[in-house]
Amino acid sequence: MSLRHPTDKHVHPVHREIAAPVTYLPEYLHQEPGRVWRAWRALRRTAAYARARRVWLGDLRRDLTSNRVRRFGQALVLAHELPPDVTWLYAHFLHTPASVARYAAVLRGLPWSCSAHAKDIWTSPDWEKREKLADLRWLVTCTRANADHLAALAPDPARVSLVYHGLDFARFPPPEAPHSQRDGSDPAAPVVILSVGRAVAKKGYPDLIAALAALPAGLHWRLVHIGGGPLLQDLKDRAEQAGIAGRIDWLGARPQDEVLARYRAADLFVLASRIAADGDRDGLPNVLMEAQSQALACVATRVSAIPELIEDGATGLLVPPDDPAALASAIGDLARDPDRRRRLGELGMARVRADFSVDAGIARLLPRFAEARQGGDRP
């Protein structure tokens, strides 16, 4: 059940394997008023509707937004159209999807659970997280930093479990060849720096532009950026003002198989994550795991759960967030030292493949879903 229609123009290989039918709830209620009205008409006289409405109004008083109204309308449609054999609801993300699942669960008298990740945690108010954690049966989240924060808000910390999201190594097999020995001394063979991420505040790309502009003139490099996002034009303008626009390739969003090829062709991966003004931050960025799975040395920041993946000086380099000078120093050091890049890349790859397999996470989730399938009884 999806709250939104897809906006990504690319179809990734994993998408082609999805065989389950997808039902789209009304993305905006005015687009399908008949569907919303039929759901309301069918449910409005039930005791469950009165309970769900009280919960929703309690939320609406503290969050008087059109988004909050839309959530309840979507929940009505979900509860009305849900197949009768469904015994449990599971929401992916703790913000809007969990609100829709929570209201629908009350409407249908069902238990529910949730997975939480990054923005959905850190941009949600504590009152809302507390109340959702009091209502749901269990929640899994993908970093220790997230788990500690949510457990402190839960009525029972045991409701919150850490399950790292991992990589499917069938999609990210080991690289077929070692990375280059480029050291930035040859203008005809610049060190290739790769960064993959949306142009949004929490990714810290202005800091990366400033760091690259501060690199010594005699160090030859080229940045390849993959990702779209609302701040992309601003970043291009910053690069132009810094005099480095000609050394950056802005590729936009690309399909996963092309991203994999770019990991293998690069010499260094950089992600300058930071905490945005609204509290939004990365959890454990998939792109860092993907880069390390290809033995690509990484420079990143000490934000959120990134230190849970990268050990500074052992499996990559970490610098403080919002510090372009420190970022420039780390990039410059590794750009000049291909042997150190190789060592960090190999150790990073070993760590990811040992500790961050998707299979390990699935093994921890399966018993939870077995319990849910039986309506809450222990399997």
Nearest to 308 by CA among 169, 196, 118, 145: 145
CA angle 316, 14, 82 (to 5 degrees): 120
Beta bridge partners of 191: 221
12 pLDDT band, cuts 50/70/90, is confident
Q: 203 vs 8, which has greater pLDDT? A: 203
Q: What is the pLDDT of residues 129-161, one digit of tens each?
A: 999 999 999 999 999 999 999 999 999 999 999
- Distance, in Å, from the CA atom of 74 to the CA atom of 102, rounded to the nearest integer, reads 11
Return the pLDDT at 154. Answer: 98
* Residue whose token pair is 């809450």: 376
Q: Is 379 part of a structural domain of the chain?
A: no
Q: What letter represents residue 78's amino acid?
A: L
83 shares its domain with 17 = yes
Half-sphere exposure of 251 (CA within 13 A, CB side): 16
- Alpha carbon of 4 to those of 28, 97, 147: distances in Å? 9, 10, 27
Q: Are 320 and 300 in contact (CB under 8 A)?
A: no
Q: Residue 83: enclosing H or E segment and its boundaries?
A: none
Q: Is 8 part of a structural domain of the chain?
A: no
Q: Is 283 part of a structural domain of the chain?
A: yes
Q: What CATH number corresponds to the domain at position 334? A: 3.40.50.2000
Residue 322 backbone phi and psi in degrees, to 5: 60, 35
159 shares its domain with 208 = no
Chain mean position to CA 323:
23
96 shares its domain with 146 = yes
* Residue whose token pair is 């996963």: 256
Return the pLDDT at 378. Answer: 38
Q: What is the pLDDT of residues 63-114, one digit of tens each?
A: 999 999 999 999 999 999 999 999 999 999 999 999 999 999 999 999 999 9
Q: Is 76 part of a structural domain of the chain?
A: yes
Question: In terms of DSSP bridges, do strands 160-162 and 221-226 run parallel, antiparallel, or are they unpaired?
Answer: unpaired
Q: Is 176 part of a structural domain of the chain?
A: no
326 shares its domain with 367 = no
- Distance, in Å, from the CA atom of 32 to the CA atom of 14, rounded to the nearest integer, reads 30
Q: What letter represents residue 60's amino acid?
A: L
Mean pLDDT for the chain overall = 95
Q: What CATH number corresponds to the domain at position 151? A: 3.40.50
What's the total number of domains in the chain?
2
Parent domain of 299: 191-355
Return the pLDDT at 377. Answer: 47
78 shares its domain with 140 = yes
Return the pLDDT at 376. Answer: 52
379 pLDDT band, cuts 50/70/90, is very low
What is this structure's pTM?
Answer: 0.87
